[in-house]
Amino acid sequence: MPRETKKQRFERMHAEYEVLREIIPEPECALDFETPFQLLVATVLSAQTTDVRVNSVTPTLFKDYGTPDKLAAANPERIEDIIHPVGFYRAKADHIITLSGQIMRDFDGVVPKTMEELTTLAGVGRKTANVVLGNAFGIPGFPVDTHVIRLTGRLRWRSDWRSTHPDPVKIEKEITDYFEPDEWTNLSHRLILFGRSTCHARRPECADCPLNDTCPSAGMFG
């Protein structure tokens, strides 16, 4: 593929994103939740596991521990037992109990609405904070997970696409510079959903991909 100018890359990115908008018209968060606190907890639990698995344990968890005050006072062994299927259950139980206590102590029992405050909570990094901001509060956020890293690399939407150790924070900054803030949350959703359905990690479905005419990596994984 000939070397692109920054303008050409910008135009290609937006053309490809228009295709994603057409095939994924109404993207939604894959985690089940009713409150910002529940989304925060579910997102912390989703690290290194699937959303389906998280959704399988949260109904039981939230039935008795769906608010910060109740989870902060929970017996750790009981929480570990409930969330055991999601993996790393001891560390995750510690995180969600601790962050619940922090919310009660530092934020009067209310989940904060800023990146700076959210990332003071146990087990909460920028990705988790962006999920909560965008999906619970409608505040622009661009979560960068493994799917987003993979797709922005294969599509060469980012300048460091050759990197074997890409920096999620740099990816967030670069990609969001190309899109309006009100599109950030859905942009992340669409990349994630497309990564799950088509642009798989090991065997992407390039032959049937609607982006194969413009994707710089099309056909390289067969």
Of 179, 209, 213, whose CA–CA distance to 197 is shortest?
209
**Amino acid symbol at 67:** T
State both tokens at 121: 């909570």
Active centre residues (catalytic): 127, 145
Residue 190: is it exposed, middle or buried by C-beta count within 10 angstroms (0-12/13-18/19+)?
buried
Quote the CA–CA distance of 80 and 216 in Å, as a whole number: 45
**What is the 3 state secondary structure string of 11-34?**
HHHHHHHHHHHHHCCCCCCCCCCC
Of 136, 160, 156, 180, whose CA–CA distance to 29 is shortest?
136
What contacts 78, CB < 8 A, 6 or more positions away? Answer: none
State both tokens at 15: 């053309």
